[in-house]
């Protein structure tokens, strides 16, 4: 190929030619949804794949193409598709009843399991990680009596908390002081300057959407110190990263936040979120208190999530399985990075354990700004190359490894990426 543009044009043309049904369905979808889409992250040009069936680690689209699923529903799909224990749990919940409109026993046993696993003194359930983060921030503001928050540039905390390149127009109207991920001195100075108005510092201990970039121990230690001294609530968004260690990344790093938010996989594949942490902060939501904070949500304690979530966390993704699964992810990352180095290709994989991101980029990546230096055309070229070889990763290179992925599946990814290097070697340096 002469240029990246030439290679990408050919790859897109091949993609379109093999998917006439998908193209037609996309046109149909556009008649009722803007861009034919109702979830931005799933969109890609010229149109996204459209799935007909899913089982185990496999997806099949409406044109009959099969893919090994490396997206893992952006971490919510850690159990693979239709895990038998979770199918049985859902059937059990259906037999109990869905929309009860009252408290029930299963929410208690699930809450006990989540609290014990992630060392939370008290917690409450929500329907998504977005809601969990919104409620945690509301609690921090009420607890401190301050109004501003500090997210990180490149952070993402849900549909109303986008900070990829600063606050988004769709965000909740918080007064934001933007921190600099992994830049301890700059961020410390900002905290010092704005401490009197800061209610909370919120971050993922490993940026997910920003490129699977772990926070340095020094950075996390600085945040813990500053928040403690200045009475600021430190919130770890572990909606995704909680899967990377039996007690979440907080336990792995040894840095304890004041509040933790959870979501995605912990609900057993159902809609789920939770926020919790220190008992004194969470006491604000005690309905028996004199002036409690309200916390609504028709489906907060829905029986599907309460049942499937407990089974998933205590019987499938146990502490032992968590350690083993993330060990396999680390080994895969090491093999891929070794291959890229041997071929002297400007590519790398970042991440921890079972959450990884492919970057067509050399050099150190310690922030979202670093990751953004990658050529998006090369990311798209990798995406289309992998699809053509029967592998589905996010267009941005993100991968959330499901438990159902086998060593053979890993080998297929390695082979496809080696094929990419061999085919497009001249475009990678």
409 is an active site residue: no
Same domain, 189 and 251: yes
Residue entry with tokens 């490396």: 70
> d(Cα 339, Cα 420) in Å, to the nearest integer?
12
pLDDT at 42: 96
**Phi–psi pair at 148, nearest 5 degrees:** -90, 160
pLDDT at 165: 74
Looking up residue 58, the CATH number of its domain turns out to be 3.90.1150.10
Q: What is the pTM of this model?
A: 0.97
Strand order in the sheet with 233-237: 122-126, 273-277, 259-263, 233-237, 198-203, 148-150, 175-176
Same domain, 359 and 241: no
pLDDT at 88: 97
> d(Cα 214, Cα 249) in Å, to the nearest integer?
10
Same domain, 325 and 309: no
Same domain, 342 and 268: no
Among the listed residues 61, 69, 237, 409, the single catalytic one is: 237
197 is an active site residue: no
Among the listed residues 156, 162, 392, 424, the single catalytic one is: 156
156 is an active site residue: yes
Same domain, 276 and 397: no
Same domain, 210 and 328: no
Residue entry with tokens 């992994």: 182
Q: Which residues of the chain have pLDDT under 70?
A: 1
Same domain, 273 and 364: no
Same domain, 52 and 23: yes
Show which of 316, 332, 365 is a domain's final residue: 316
Looking up residue 145, the CATH number of its domain turns out to be 3.40.640.10
Helix (H) or strand (E) segment spanning residue 95: helix 84-96
pLDDT at 2: 76
Confirm if 231 and 66 have CB atoms less than 8 A apart: no
Same domain, 268 and 329: no
Report the chain's mean pLDDT, rounded to a whole number.
97
> What are the angstrom distances between the C-alpha of 177 and each of 209, 257, 307?
20, 19, 39
pLDDT at 1: 56
Show which of 262, 286, 316 is a domain's final residue: 316
Q: Which domain holds residue 337?
A: 4-78+320-427
> d(Cα 64, Cα 390) in Å, to the nearest integer?
11
Same domain, 182 and 262: yes
Among the listed residues 183, 264, 333, 379, the single catalytic one is: 264
Same domain, 204 and 73: no
Number of domains in the chain: 2
Q: Is the peptide bond before 46 cis (omega within 30 degrees of 0)?
A: yes
Find the distance separating the first CA and the last CA of the chain, reported in whole Å: 14
């Amino acid at each position: 190929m002469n240029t990246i543009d030439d290679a990408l044009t050919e790859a897109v043309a091949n993609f379109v030619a093999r998917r006439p049904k998908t193209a037609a369905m996309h046109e149909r979808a556009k008649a009722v949804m803007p861009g034919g889409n109702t979830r931005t992250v799933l969109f890609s040009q010229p149109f996204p794949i459209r799935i007909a069936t899913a089982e185990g680690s496999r997806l099949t689209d409406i044109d009959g193409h099969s893919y090994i699923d490396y997206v893992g529903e952006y971490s919510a799909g850690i159990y693979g598709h239709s895990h038998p224990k979770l199918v049985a749990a859902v059937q059990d919940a259906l037999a109990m009843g869905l929309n009860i409109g009252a408290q029930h026993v299963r929410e208690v046993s699930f809450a006990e399991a989540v609290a014990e696993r992630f060392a939370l003194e008290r917690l409450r359930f929500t329907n998504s990680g977005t809601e969990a983060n919104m409620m945690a921030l509301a609690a921090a503001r009420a607890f401190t009596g301050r109004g501003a928050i500090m997210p990180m540039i490149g952070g993402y905390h849900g549909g109303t908390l986008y900070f990829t390149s600063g606050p988004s127009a769709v965000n909740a109207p918080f007064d934001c002081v933007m921190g600099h991920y992994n830049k301890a001195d700059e961020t410390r100075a900002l905290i010092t300057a704005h401490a009197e108005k800061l209610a909370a510092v919120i971050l993922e201990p490993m940026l997910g959407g920003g490129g699977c970039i772990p926070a340095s121990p020094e950075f996390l230690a600085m945040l813990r110190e500053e928040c403690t001294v200045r009475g600021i609530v430190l919130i770890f968004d572990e909606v995704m990263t909680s899967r990377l260690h039996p007690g979440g990344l907080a336990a792995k790093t040894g840095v304890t936040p004041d509040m933790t938010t959870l979501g995605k996989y912990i609900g057993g594949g159902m809609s789920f979120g939770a926020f919790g942490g220190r008992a004194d902060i969470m006491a604000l939501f005690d309905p028996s208190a004199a002036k409690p904070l309200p916390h609504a949500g028709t489906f907060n304690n829905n029986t599907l999530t309460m049942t499937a979530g407990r089974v998933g966390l205590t019987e499938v993704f146990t502490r032992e399985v968590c350690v083993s699964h993330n060990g396999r992810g680390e080994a895969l990352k090491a093999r891929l990075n070794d291959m890229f180095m041997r071929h002297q290709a400007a590519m790398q994989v970042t991440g921890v354990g079972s959450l990884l991101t492919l970057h067509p980029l050399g050099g150190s990546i310690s922030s979202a700004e670093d990751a953004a230096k990658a050529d998006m055309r090369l990311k798209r070229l990798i995406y289309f190359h992998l699809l053509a070889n029967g592998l589905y990763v996010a267009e941005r290179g993100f991968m959330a490894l499901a438990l159902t992925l086998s060593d053979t599946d890993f080998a297929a990814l390695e082979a496809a990426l080696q094929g990419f290097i061999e085919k497009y070697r001249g475009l990678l340096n």
